[in-house]
């Protein structure tokens, strides 16, 4: 693995995948929707879309033609704490694909006519999220957990904030925030020496102007202590979509035992939640628990889809399983299964350069470190039963919020917050 920092602050990580003919590359910016002010909600997501709409050298069509002539698949993403571009391609085209990615990322033109067209695309995306019950319930979760913080803002923004974005606002935000010190380049599939310094300095070298990053809005003490129930009533739906969620403090040293805990509790087919509610009771179509980690907090949630007739009974049994695991913990056999499943998933994912690229980006952004596969597996192997049960005791307290979409009333859910 090669790690270096260029003189303009861009961090570069390269890792070889000698057993595969393909490669992946990502240009990741350490900022996301949580860095936005409410009146500019959605601007990061809008910029991600707009990067592909033309550069100082190429039109949107020319970008697409160049990518496809290289056999490359290029796309972008926006999350709450990161955004960026990535590509999958054959190793033989590595230099050419990197050159195209650098141009898209660092030399966007933001054509006025393309901005107006893209607003229509994003309006449709916002509508789809509102209409899709699964998307909507997760949107409600963040709004309820962070009602007065940018983490609660929708990544896509609102109709009104997107409508108000001007070309000048977009250009200014881009040049002020998409700086080299926020940039990570990750190349998976080749450790061949590449002229990265020259390419990156030519495209991005003069854009920082010494500007230092302002930290994202911090979570204030007590900001995550509220209790809330929110239901979007949709009488036409036969199914009910529910999440019981809460926040917790992030601790770097706990992340491996936290992952194993989540797998054992609700992150697998053999987990307590799935076995009880799906296999034994037959109450749910889908159920899982999840852990999302951010720079200053974590989110734990239980998501399930059930019929409106079974919703309250399912919630009651979820509460029972939750309390049982919190007070009695797991046994060694469950942890062995969860550990083996977790390690297997990690190893199998290494067959995908793209997956490896995103994994490295996440650990670099969240924890400021880059670990080899061997180091990651070794850290999981050190996880003990006592640690996992301690995570269960810490996490499985009554939820802070319950959110739902379907034919359900908020007052029916009040008893499940305590």
Query: pLDDT tens digits for 27-45?
Result: 999 999 999 999 999 999 9
Q: What is the DSSP letter of 205?
A: T
Q: Is the pTM of this model over 0.75?
A: yes
Residue 215 has pLDDT above 60, yes or no: no
How far is residue 145's CA from residue 273's CA, in Å, rounded to a whole number? 23
CA nearest neighbour of 121 among 170, 65, 81, 159: 159
What are the φ and ψ backbone dihedral angles of 8, each rounded to 5 degrees? -90, 5
Q: What pLDDT is stored for residue 403 in this prediction?
A: 95
> Taking 70 as the threshold, does the pLDDT of residue 200 lie above it?
no
Nearest to 99 by CA among 74, 121, 117: 74
Whole-angstrom distance, CA of residue 368 vs CA of residue 372: 14
Q: What is the pLDDT of residues 301-342, one digit of tens each?
A: 999 999 999 999 999 999 999 999 999 999 999 999 999 999
The pLDDT, as a whole number, for residue 210 is: 45
Helix (H) or strand (E) holding 290, with range, is strand 284-293
Q: Nearest Cα to 289, choosing from 320, 255, 251, 243?
A: 243
At residue 231, the 3 state secondary structure works out as strand
Indicate whether 209 pLDDT > 50. no
Burial class (CB in 10 A: 0-12, 13-18, 19+), 404: buried
At 412 the pLDDT is 86
Residue 55's Cβ-count burial label (10 Å; 0-12, 13-18, 19+) is buried
pLDDT tens-place string over residues 235-273? 898 899 999 999 988 888 899 999 999 999 999 999 999
The pLDDT of residue 344: 95
- Give pLDDT tens digits for 67-99: 999 999 999 999 999 999 999 999 999 999 999
What is the Cα–Cα distance from 406 to 17, expressed in whole angstroms?
A: 46
Measured between alpha carbons, how far is 43 from 161 in angstroms, rounded to an integer?
8
H or E element at residue 229: strand 228-233
Give residue-wise pLDDT tens across range 107-147. Answer: 999 999 999 999 999 999 999 999 999 999 999 999 999 99
**For the chain, give me the number of helices (H) and strands (E)?**
15, 11
pLDDT in the model for residue 199: 60
Q: Is the pLDDT of residue 368 over 70?
A: yes
Distances, alpha carbon 171 to alpha carbons 77, 109, 280, in Å: 19, 9, 56
Q: Tell me, what's the pLDDT at 1? A: 77
Q: Please name each of the domains of the chain with its CATH number.
A: 2-204 (3.30.830.10), 228-417 (3.30.830.10)
Q: Which two tokens stand for residue 413?
A: 């859910």
């Amino acid at each position: 693995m090669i790690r270096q920092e260029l003189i303009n602050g861009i961090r570069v990580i390269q890792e070889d995948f000698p057993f595969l003919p393909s490669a992946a590359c990502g240009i990741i910016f350490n900022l996301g929707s949580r860095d936005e002010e409410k009146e500019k909600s959605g601007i990061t997501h809008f910029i991600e879309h707009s990067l592909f709409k033309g550069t100082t050298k190429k039109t949107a069509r020319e970008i697409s033609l160049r990518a496809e002539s290289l056999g490359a698949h290029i796309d972008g993403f926006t999350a709450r704490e990161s955004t960026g571009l990535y590509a999958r391609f054959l190793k033989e085209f590595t230099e050419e694909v990197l050159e195209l990615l650098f141009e898209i990322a660092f030399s966007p033109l933001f054509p006025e006519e393309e901005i107006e067209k893209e607003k229509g695309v994003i309006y449709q995306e916002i509508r789809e999220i509102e209409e899709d019950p699964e998307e909507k319930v997760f949107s409600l979760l963040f709004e309820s957990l962070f009602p007065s913080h940018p983490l609660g803002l929708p990544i896509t923004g609102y109709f009104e904030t997107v409508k108000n974005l001007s070309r000048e606002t977009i250009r200014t935000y881009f040049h002020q925030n998409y700086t080299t010190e926020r940039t990570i380049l990750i190349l998976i599939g080749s450790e061949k020496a590449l002229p990265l310094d020259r390419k990156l300095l030519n495209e991005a070298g003069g854009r920082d102007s010494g500007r230092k990053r302002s930290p994202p809005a911090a979570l204030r003490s007590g900001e995550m202590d509220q209790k809330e129930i929110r239901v979007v009533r949709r009488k036409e739906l036969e199914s009910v979509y529910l999440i019981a969620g809460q926040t917790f403090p992030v601790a770097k040293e706990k992340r491996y035992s936290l992952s194993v805990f989540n797998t054992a509790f609700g992150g697998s087919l053999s987990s307590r939640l799935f076995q009880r509610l799906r296999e034994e009771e037959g109450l749910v179509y889908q159920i899982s628990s999840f852990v999302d980690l951010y720079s200053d907090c974590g989110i734990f949630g239980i998501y399930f889809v059930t019929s409106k007739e079974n919703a309250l009974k399912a919630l009651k049994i979820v509460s029972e399983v939750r309390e049982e695991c919190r007070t009695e913990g797991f046994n060694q056999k469950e942890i062995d299964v969860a550990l083996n499943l977790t390690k297997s998933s990690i190893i199998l994912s290494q067959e995908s350069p793209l997956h490896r690229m995103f994994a490295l980006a996440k650990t670099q952004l969240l924890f400021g470190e880059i670990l080899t596969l061997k180091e990651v597996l070794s850290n999981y192997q050190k996880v003990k039963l006592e640690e996992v049960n301690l995570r269960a005791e810490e996490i499985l307290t009554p939820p802070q919020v319950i959110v739902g979409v379907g034919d359900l009333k908020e007052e029916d859910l009040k008893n499940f917050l305590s």
